[in-house]
Amino acid sequence: MRNELPVESLILRQEECIPNILVNCVIIGFDNGCLKVLLSRLKDDTRWLVPGCFVDQAEDLDDAAIRLLESKTGQGNVYLKQYCFFGKKEQSIADKDKKILRLFNQSQQGADYTQSRLVHLGYYSLIKFEDVNILAQEFEEVKWFDINDIPLLYPHQDEILQTAIITIRKQVGFIPIGYELLPVEFTMPELRGIYEAILGRELDRRNFQRKMLSIGFIKPMNETRKVGAHKSPNLYSFIKDKYDEVEKYGMQIMSNNL
């Protein structure tokens, strides 16, 4: 993982980055029954950002997204998908706040193209919450937020985040959401909680369990988890070979209508 230089000493020449192209990554985790998103901001700012970076001339777009993930979470080998371009004609860093340049590894005295129109390439990542080691530069704060309690964002950043959630919701039958977000062993309420958070509605407990077991991607562990005096929910695990096949061939896991 490449170490980022302090902004005061970071003066990038225009030829080192692809002009006007930013990669943003909506990083999603699941903890304590809640879907979380990782955001960053300057320590003296009130507005938050979806983590982003400029793209080096010598790297692929996907590699830039992986570099960004590693720089914020310490993890690079995780589920990552490109989902949308953003580039309204009035959208530029200069229009919002030049301080944002620091979070994109660019100094305020850097190349002139940072003052013109910007195009954002959106990625989303599903990552196991317990595997994340939050990393932040000295001038920034990086923090998890509940997906239903998002703080004040820069206007175009809100569009990037919400479009990612909508995209995942529309493609829920094709995305191994639980497999990517949950630990090796999990309970059915935990799995259901992820889908309820993504879809924004409650799901019938019995119907959900019946559907999850019928599609053949999870199996009971014949073990329980002690969570209270009278509660010991059954534990399940994912069948890894089947999920690997889904990812390889782009197969649909289940119906989008839960």
Three-state DSSP class for residue 213: helix
CATH assignment, 177-249? 1.10.10.10
Q: How confident is the model at residue 12 (pLDDT cuts 50, 70, 90)?
A: very low
- What class does CATH assign to 7-170? alpha beta
Q: What is the amino acid identity at position 231? A: K
Domain limits, the chain:
7-170, 177-249
Other C-beta atoms closer than 10 Å to the C-beta of 194 total 22
Query: What is d(CA 103, CA 52) in angstroms, rounded to the nearest whole number?
Result: 7
User: Following DSSP, what letter does each residue of 227-256 receive, concatenated?
Assistant: -SSS--PEEEEE-HHHHHHHHHHT---S-S
Mean pLDDT (whole number) for 195-222: 91
| Mean pLDDT, residues 36-64 | 92
* pLDDT tier for residue 8 given thresholds of 50, 70 and 90: very low
3-state secondary structure of 89: coil
Does 254 have pLDDT greater than 70?
A: yes
Q: Which tokens sit at 14?
A: 């225009």
The region of weakest confidence among 42-56, 96-110, 225-239 is 96-110
Give phi and psi for 38, each to the nearest 5. Answer: -95, 125
Average pLDDT in the chain = 82
- What pLDDT is attached to residue 2? 43
